[in-house]
Structure 1
Amino acid sequence: MKYNIIIFSTLLCSLSACVEDEGNYTYTPVNEVAVDGIEERYSALAFFDEINISPNVEGSVKGDDISNYEFAWYRCYNNHTHDTISREKDLNWKADVQPGTYTLYLGVKDKETGYNKTYSTLLSITSPYTRGFLILGNRPNSGNLVGLDMLTMVQGKDTVYVQDVFDNSELQLRNARSMSYTGYYMRGTNFYITTDETTHKFSFSDSFEPIAELNQMKIIEPLVPHKKPIKLKDVAMRQGVRPSYSYLYPRVYLTEDHAFACRPSTSEYMSEPFNRYSQTSEDFFRFYPYVFYDQRQAQIGYSTGTSPVILYDLDNECFSYLAGPYTMTYMKAFDNNPSHGDNLWMNCKKYYRTIVYGENDFSTSNTYCNAIMKESVPDQDVKYLLYRFVPTFSMFGGQCTIKSGTGKAYTLDLSVMTDFLKAEHYYFAGAYSLMYYSVGNTLYAYDYVNNRLASKQFDGRITYLEAEASSNMSNNRWFWVATFDGTKGHLYKMVASIDPNKIEFIDLPRNNWEVNLEVKSVLWKGQNSY
Structure 2
Amino acid sequence: MMAMRKIQILCVGLAALWLASCTDDKGNDSLSPINELEISGIEDEYYNVGYKETLVIPVTLKGLLSGSDENQFDYQWYLCNKEVTENAHKHTVISTEKDLEYPLDIPSGNYRLYFRATDKETGMQWEKVTSLTVLSPFVRGFYLWGDKEDGTCGMDFVSMIEGRDTTMMADLFDNTVGLKKAGNIVFTGTYVATPHVVNLWATAENGAYSLEHSSSLEKFGVLEDVSLDKMVFPTLEVTRPLNFVDIVPHPYGSNNMNRARSWRVLLTERDAFFCGSLLSSEAYGNPMNRYDANTSVLYKPSPYVFYQDNSTYLQAVAFFDETNHCFTVQNGASYAVTHTVKCTDSESPFWFDQNKYTPVRDLVYGENGFNGGYSYALMNDANGDYYIYKFKVNRYGPAGISKSLARQVDKAVATDFDKAGHYTFFSVQPVILYAVGADLWAYDYVRNIAKKVATMDGEITYLAMDAHSSNTPTDFIVATYSESQKGTVYKYTIKDDPNDIVVEPHTYRTESYPWKTNLKVAKVEYRNSSL
Which category describes the TM-score, using the shorter chain as reference length?
A: 0.7 to 0.9
C-alpha distance after superposition, 1:190-220 (max 9, x if no partner): 2223121122143344447557344178222
1:295 corresponds in structure 2 to 309
Question: How far off its partner does 1:173 sit?
Answer: 4.4
Q: Secondary structure at the match of 1:432?
A: coil
1:284 counterpart = 2:298: yes
Q: Is the counterpart of residue 371 in structure 1 residue 377 in structure 2? A: yes
Q: 1:314-356: CA deviations, max 9, x gaps?
A: 11000111112344221112243x5xx9576110112133334
After superposition, the Cα gap between the structure-2 partners of 1:108 and 1:457, relative to the gap in structure 1 and judged at 3 Å, is farther
Match 1:485 to one of 482, 485, 504:
482
Task: Please state how far the C-alpha of 1:502 moved relative to its aligned partner.
Answer: 2.7
1:516/1:121 Cα in 2 relative to 1: closer, same or farther (>3 Å)?
farther
Q: Equivalent residue for 2:247?
A: 235
CA contact (8 A) 1:104 1:122 kept: yes
Structure 1: distance between partners of 2:193 and 2:57: 46
CA contact (8 A) 1:101 1:122 kept: no
What letter corresponds to residue 158 of structure 1 in structure 2?
A: D
Q: Which has the higher contact order (CA 8 A, sep 6+)?
A: 2
Q: Please state whether the residue corresponding to 1:346 is helix, strand or coil.
A: coil
Say which SS state the counterpart of residue 353 (structure 1) adopts: coil
Amino acid at match of 2:355: K
| Equivalent runs, 1:228-267 vs 2, <5 Å | 228-240=240-252, 250-263=263-276, 267=281
Partner residue, 1:434: 431
Q: Whole-Å Cα distance in 1 between the matches of residues 78 and 457 of structure 2?
A: 42
SS at match of 1:202: coil
Q: Distance between the aligned counterparts of 2:458 and 2:74, measured in 1? A: 49
CA–CA distance in structure 1, aligned partners of residues 234 and 109 of structure 2:
40
- For the aligned residues, what is the CA RMSD? 4.5
One-letter amino acid of the structure 2 residue matched with residue 163 of structure 1: A
How far has the Cα of 1:103 moved from its partner?
10
1: distance between equivalents of 2:481 and 2:239? Answer: 32
Give the superposition deviation at 1:496.
1.2
Where structure 2 has 5 or more consecutive residues not aligned to the other structure, the ranges are: 1-34, 81-90, 119-124
1:517 and 1:249 map into 2 onto residues whose CA distance is: 35
The residue number in structure 2 matching 1:452 is 449
Q: Which residue of 1 aligns with 2:213?
A: 203
TM-score by length of 2: 0.73
Partner of 2:168: 161
Q: State the distance in 1 between where 2:73 and 2:259 align.
A: 64
Matching residue's letter, 1:482? A
* 1:209-228 → structure 2 map (5 Å cutoff): 209-210=220-221, 212-213=223-224, 214-215=226-227, 218-228=230-240
Residues 1:311 and 2:319 aligned together: yes
Distance 2:493 2:475 in 1: 5
Q: Give SS of 1:421's match.
A: helix
Cα distance change of structure 1 residues 97 and 513 upon mapping to structure 2, 3 Å threshold: farther
- Quick one: which amino acid aligns to residue 427 of structure 1? T
Give the AA of the match of 1:263. Answer: G
Alignment partners' CA distance in 2, 1:283 and 1:100: 52
8 A Cα contact 2:49 2:137, kept in partner:
no
Deviates more, 1:422-431 or 1:511-520: 511-520
Letter of the structure 2 residue corresponding to residue 268 of structure 1: E
SS of the equivalent of 1:431 reads: coil
Is the contact between residue 95 and residue 125 of structure 1 (CA under 8 Å) also seen in structure 2? Answer: no
Q: Which amino acid aligns with 1:362?
A: G
Residue 145 of structure 1, CA deviation: 3.4
- CA displacement, residues 474-497 of structure 1 (integer Å, 9 cap, x when unaligned): x21101001111352111110113
- What letter corresponds to residue 194 of structure 1 in structure 2? A
Q: Secondary structure at the match of 1:290?
A: coil
Q: 1:90 aligns with which of 87, 99, 110?
A: 99
1:501 aligns to what?
499
SS in 2 for 1:268: coil
Amino acid across the alignment from 2:299: F
Q: Secondary structure at the match of 2:499?
A: coil
Letter in 2 for 1:494: Y
Deviation at 1:279, TM superposition (A): 1.4
Separation in 1 of the partners of 2:417 and 2:78? 57
Question: How much has 1:429 moved relative to structure 2?
Answer: 0.6
Question: What is the rounded CA distance, in whole Å, between the counterparts of 1:39 and 1:69 in structure 2?
Answer: 17
Q: How far 1:43 sits from its partner (Å)?
A: 4.7
Matched residue, 1:321: 329
Identity %: 26
Secondary structure at 1:466 match in 2: strand
Equivalent position amino acid for 1:212 in 2: L
**Which residue identity lines up with residue 343 of structure 2 in the other structure?**
F
Q: CA deviation at 1:169?
A: 5.8
What is the total number of aligned residue pairs between the two structures?
470
- In structure 1, the gaps of 5 or more residues are 1-31, 110-116
TM-score, normalised relative to structure 1: 0.74
Distance 1:490 1:69, change over 3 A: farther
> Where in structure 2 are the equivalents of 1:71-220 lying within 5 Å?
89-91=98-100, 95=104, 99=108, 126-129=134-137, 131-138=139-146, 140-154=148-162, 156-164=163-171, 166-168=172-174, 170=176, 173-183=179-189, 184=191, 188-196=196-204, 197-207=207-217, 209-210=220-221, 212-213=223-224, 214-215=226-227, 218-220=230-232
- The offset of 1:467, in angstroms, is 1.3
Match of 2:459 among 440, 458, 461: 461
1:266-286 CA distances to partner (integer Å, 9 max, x unpaired)?
552102111111112222111
> Quick check: 1:186–1:247 contact (8 Å CA) kept in 2?
no
Contact 1:295 1:362 in 2 (8 A): yes
Q: What SS does the aligned partner of 1:233 have? A: strand
Larger Rg belongs to = 1
* Deviation (angstroms), 1:444: 1.0
Q: Closer, same or farther in 2 for the Cα pair 1:143/1:472, shift >3 Å? A: closer
| SS of equivalent to 1:482 | strand
Once residues 392 and 42 of structure 2 are traced to their aligned partners in structure 1, the CA distance between those partners, rounded to angstroms, is 62
User: How much has 1:162 moved relative to structure 2?
Assistant: 2.4
Name the CA shift for 1:193/1:216 in 2 (closer, same or farther; >3 Å): closer
Letter in 2 for 1:288: S
Contact 2:157/2:169 (8 A) holds in 1: yes
**Further displaced range: 37-46 or 464-473:** 37-46
Matched, 1:54 2:58: yes
CA distance in 1, matches of 2:235, 2:264: 19
Quote the Cα distance in structure 2 between the aligned partners of 1:83 and 1:414. Answer: 65
Q: Distance in 2 between matches of 1:462 and 1:382?
A: 23
Q: Are the aligned partners of 1:46 and 1:126 in contact in 2 as well (CA < 8 Å)?
A: yes
Residue pair 2:251, 2:259 contacting (<8 A) in 1 also:
no
